[in-house]
Amino acid sequence: MDPNEEIVVRNTYVNLKLRLSEIMEAIRIVKERTRANNIATAIELSFHIGLPRQEMEKVSVLITLIRCIKDGSVVPPVDMDKLYASIALPP
């Protein structure tokens, strides 16, 4: 998995290029802040814990990506659930 690999998010409403490293950073934020068991729960909890604006902007891009994956307009090069599970939490 190359962190510089790009995912193109393109549909009627969105036209983005995201580096895998940016996605991993957003995942790391929600996992560290929420400590949830899965990415869906972590994203839901991120709305309720009061993330700083800069972090919430990164999470917002992650949310957009996941919505596009669910509607079929994006096929990511990695499984997002497995990627979330692979991010190690600090002790």
Residue ranges of the alpha helices (H) in the chain? 20-34, 39-46, 53-71, 80-86
Asked whether 24 and 87 are in contact (CB, 8 A), the reply is yes
Q: Which of 23, 32, 48, 29 is nearest to 90 (CA)?
A: 32
Q: Which tokens go with 49?
A: 């814990």
Per-residue pLDDT at 11: 79
At 32-42, the pLDDT tens digits run: 999 999 999 99
At 39-74, the pLDDT tens digits run: 999 999 998 998 999 999 999 999 989 988 888 888
- Lowest mean pLDDT segment, chosen from 11-15, 17-21, 29-33: 11-15
Query: How many Cβ atoms are within 10 Å of 75's Cβ, its own excluded?
Result: 8
Query: How many Cβ atoms are within 10 Å of 1's Cβ, its own excluded?
Result: 9
What does pTM read for this prediction? 0.87
Q: Which of 25, 18, 31 is nearest to 74 (CA)?
A: 18
Per-residue pLDDT at 12: 81
